[in-house]
A and B are shown apart, each in its own frame.
Chain A
Amino acid sequence: MTDTDPIPYVDYLDLSGEPQLVTQACTQCGAQFFGRRNACAACSATTFVEKPVQRTGHISSFTIVSGKTPYVSAIVDCAGVSVRATVINVEADADHVHLAMPVQLTTYSAGHDADGREAIGYAFEPQTTAEETSI
């Protein structure tokens, strides 16, 4: 990474290749967490390995937060790993978002800082590819 590469909005978004989310997986019990750890909440072990999260999943819960620009917050089940995310590229209303809806990871620009460096955030969006929507 150079000083001009975009940087991830949170440290568990890995932009080194195709964007993906990465958990800290406990080497003793396998529990997966996002973000910096002191120890495992399930078994108290202190060693972790990075483990990528599947890029597709389904909405296991959601809400639509009202305001000037309403947004969809969802819990996305990515092959057993729960991810909290905003859902974008969809109308933010209950006619367009539903439980069990298939979604996929996407990224967006979160803006540039004073040095002109871009931050990249993650979100989920409705699945678009044929193979995934056929589920």
Chain B
Amino acid sequence: MSDPIWIIGSNMTKFGKHPELDIIDLAAEASLAALADSSMAMTDIDVLAVGNLMNASASVGQQLQKQIGQTGIPVFNVANACATGATALRVAIMAIQAGQAEVGMAVGVEKLSGMGLLSGPPEAPRGDTWEPRGRVGALGPTEGHIGTDIMPGVFAQIGMEYGHTYGEVSFDLFARISEKNHAHSTLNPLAAYQKRFTLDEIKNDVMIAYPNTRPMCSGNCDGAAAMIVMSDERKQSLPSEVARRAVKIAASVLTSDPYTPGCQVLPDINTLTRNAANQAYEAAGIGPEDLDLVELHDCFATAELVHYDNLMLCEPGEAVSFFESGAPWRDGALPVNVSGGLQSKGHPIGATGIANIHEIVCHLRGEAGDRQIEGARVGLAHVIGLGSACGVHILQQAS
């Protein structure tokens, strides 16, 4: 087994609306705070990985360097859908594992406030006669003609599919999952939304794509998160007050979706998550029963349900009873999304995959304030980006 890698600095900005800040302001705020948190300077950093989706061709990493330190180190600008932030961290970790760096910085940033439903670039205008286009030779838009491609609809179908495979799911069940996360968010000052909703408020809000109403969808917002990671060897030389707060990366895994029948019709977000979880548990030498908390990718309430199962927090097919047992509430047997999750903390895509790891770091350091899960020693962070990419990180308190 290879030497562990350590998180020695971590930070996220407040998620929400930041009309006065651009993405570099946000990235710089998180990066400088993460450096301060680790007692490091830009001159200590050997490799920089920066995740941003909406400006993927804009060399955001180099733009960030021009504001906080141009040291000439290699920069990797990455984009991997909603797993972009976790991918940036994975790149920094791989550079250290490969012996190419001792200290790495991973940054994720996004500005999405007011963007509404996210979709791809607009289709070029069509002429006045039929002209087949694309992989299926479509004569016009497929949305509405061939089901749906919008995210709330795709993830609604993923949740409903679980119900078809394993039995009862309902609008009420999914709404109660959302109720939990919104309740959790009231303790997180960095969450974009900290409003506790009643179940009726959630169910009676605007329906986006049945069974997901607006509060059951992740919120578009602005934010950044940054993390400093270090080799085990270099960590030995840290002053004890810095080393004391280091958090061990027990597993860092990134997977893509392997072929399964039907996966090109409705994305199979289950198999790659299960694969990532299996690899992560094996690498960490621990099982789901050892976890004290989980941050999982609840981009929609319907997604959270399937990931209880995919991450093996319950027996196969038992996700509904896992939720009904109260386990994923913050006072339950295995708290899930005590940050408020993407539904209330918000989902600035590039930042999300680092922010959910930051949440685990806060708890393992005993620095999560009012929402601290007492005695937390092991946590798992999960993200998924449609397309698909899945990141799973298991963190452990330094022993």
Contact = CB atoms under 8 A, between A and B. Distances in A.
Contacts of A32: 261
Contact of A61 (B132, B137, B160): B160
A63 B156 contact: yes
A31 B139 contact: no
A85 B266 CA distance: 11
B19 interface: no
A82 B142 CA distance: 17
Interface string A87-118: 00000001000011000000000100111010
A7 B129 CA distance: 12
A82 B262 contact: yes
Given A73-B153, A80-B261, A119-B140, A61 B161 contact: yes
Specify the main secondary structure of chain A where it touches its partner. strand
A86 to B, nearest CB: 6
B72 interface: no
Contacts of B132: 11
A51 interface: no
Interface string B124-150: 000011101011111110101111101
Contacts of A49: none
B209 A35 contact: no
A42 interface: yes
Nearest to B144: A71
Nearest to A29: B259
Contact of B138 (A9, A65, A81): A9
Contact of B139 (A36, A59, A84, A110): A110
A8 to B, nearest CB: 8
Contact of A75 (B157, B163, B208, B211): B157
B208 A60 contact: no
Contacts of B208: 66
Interface string A55-76: 0000111111110000101110
A76 B78 CA distance: 36
A60 B164 contact: yes
A51 B206 CA distance: 42
Given A64-B209, A75-B266, A117-B130, A110 B144 contact: no
Given A84-B265, A114-B128, A75 B145 contact: no
Contacts of A45: none
Given A65-B144, A114-B128, A121-B145, A82 B265 contact: yes
Contacts of B144: 65, 71, 86
B265 A34 contact: yes
Contacts of B262: 75, 81-82
A121 B144 CA distance: 11
Interface in A1-25: 7-12
A119 B160 contact: no
Given A35-B136, A36-B137, A114-B129, A82 B261 contact: yes
Contacts of A48: none
B68 to A, nearest CB: 42
A65 B171 contact: no
Contacts of A8: 139
Contact of B209 (A31, A63, A84): A63
Given A75-B161, A119-B140, A86 B146 contact: yes
A99 B163 contact: yes
B136 A36 contact: yes
A42 B261 CA distance: 9
Contact of A9 (B140, B153, B265): B140
B148 A65 contact: yes
B139 A9 contact: yes
Contacts of B156: 63
B264 interface: yes
Contacts of A42: 259
Given A7-B139, A41-B264, 16 more contacts: A7-B130, A9-B138, A9-B140, A9-B145, A10-B136, A11-B137, A32-B261, A59-B164, A61-B161, A63-B156, A63-B160, A63-B211, A80-B261, A84-B265, A86-B146, A99-B164
11 contacts: A10-B142, A10-B146, A35-B136, A35-B137, A41-B264, A61-B161, A65-B150, A71-B148, A81-B262, A115-B129, A117-B129
